[in-house]
Amino acid sequence: MDMNKLSKIYVAGHRGLVGSAIYRKLQEEGFDNLVVRTSGELDLRDDEQVNDFFAEQRIEYVFLAAAKVGGIMANREHPVEFLRDNLCIQNNVIDAAYQTGVKKLLFLGSTCIYPKLAPQPLKEEYLLTGELEPTNEPYAVAKIAGIKLCQAYNRQYGTRFISVMPTNLYGRNDNYDLQHSHVLPALLRKFHEAKEQGLPFVEIWGSGEPRREFLYVDDLANACLFLMEHYESSEIINIGLGEDIAIHELADRIRQVVGYEGAIRYDASKPDGTPRKLVDVSKINGLGWKAVTSLDEGLQQTYTWFLHNQAPVKNILLGI
């Protein structure tokens, strides 16, 4: 029943930040029987297409990294899509995996599932113990539904569906659109453009005081492969660095990496989101996995990739 180098593995969302990292990691480890489809080739929101695909391919293992994702502004402007599209993707892939006898599925959740004011660091058992952060509630509700669906299939049908909760991610193939990206890639692009254009200052949303944890996406990919091979529980499990940083500190780090010498201004009239979000990683550390890439190292690698891969930024659905 264990995954081997010849196992047929489907990486859903292989062009997104997370899916591309998982795909790279599998290739590096010698897994050659990988199946991928672009959103143009397979619309995961269409149950008929998904059912036909799984019936034809006879997949053995699934990394479900496909999702519609985005930052605060994107979540505020498109709550319907963040809830509806993610529900459709999850429901279709998880059910098709069951119907076709997939041996094991890994569902990528998000730490936004935890209550806005939950104690820190965030332990897995805090799920559903309080109100969610309003700015990304539709996305969080969809992810919680995905977790519960995996657990329900395990309980009712004896499937091996696991759910992992990564913290904030960054790295190559991220979304650098200033209107729809997450905070770290948005800041990196802002500082880069300010440097290129000789701008006197960079403006950042919020007070700069909220604290966030950032995990290099290649470390996440390593953790996902580790858990696919070593974790069997229906209970969710966090994946993170185990350290957090204030947004104003992050901005200073990115400014140094980019080499921008102007000022930083904070627009406190804009929302801060959750005051702090640090995950408890004692569970996954106890299994023998720990992140290896420091924030400074990850930022440097990410900016190097950005410099070599700048392309017209489009508003896209990452990972679908």
Residue 230, marked binder: no
The annotation status of 13 as a binding-site residue, yes or no, is yes
Q: Which amino acid is at 7?
A: S
Q: Give me the catalytic one of 23, 114, 139, 260.
A: 139
Q: Establish whether 182 is an annotated binding residue.
A: yes
Task: Check whether 143 is labelled as a binding-site residue.
Answer: yes
CB 208 within 8 A of CB 265: no
Residue 167 is assigned to a ligand binding site: yes
User: Is 169 labeled as ligand-binding?
Assistant: yes
Query: Would residue 176 show up in a list of annotated catalytic residues for this protein?
Result: no
The answer to whether 272 is annotated as binding is yes
18 annotated as a binding-site residue:
yes
Instruction: Tell whether 318 is in a known binding site.
Output: no
287 annotated as ligand-binding: no
Binding site annotation covers 185? no
Q: Is 212 annotated as a binding residue?
A: yes
Q: Residues forming the annotated binding site?
A: 13-19, 108-111, 143, 166-169, 182, 190, 205, 212, 272
Q: Residues forming the annotated binding site for NADP(+)?
A: 13-19, 108-111, 143, 166-169, 182
Q: Residues forming the annotated binding site for substrate?
A: 190, 205, 212, 272
Residues catalogued as catalytic? 139
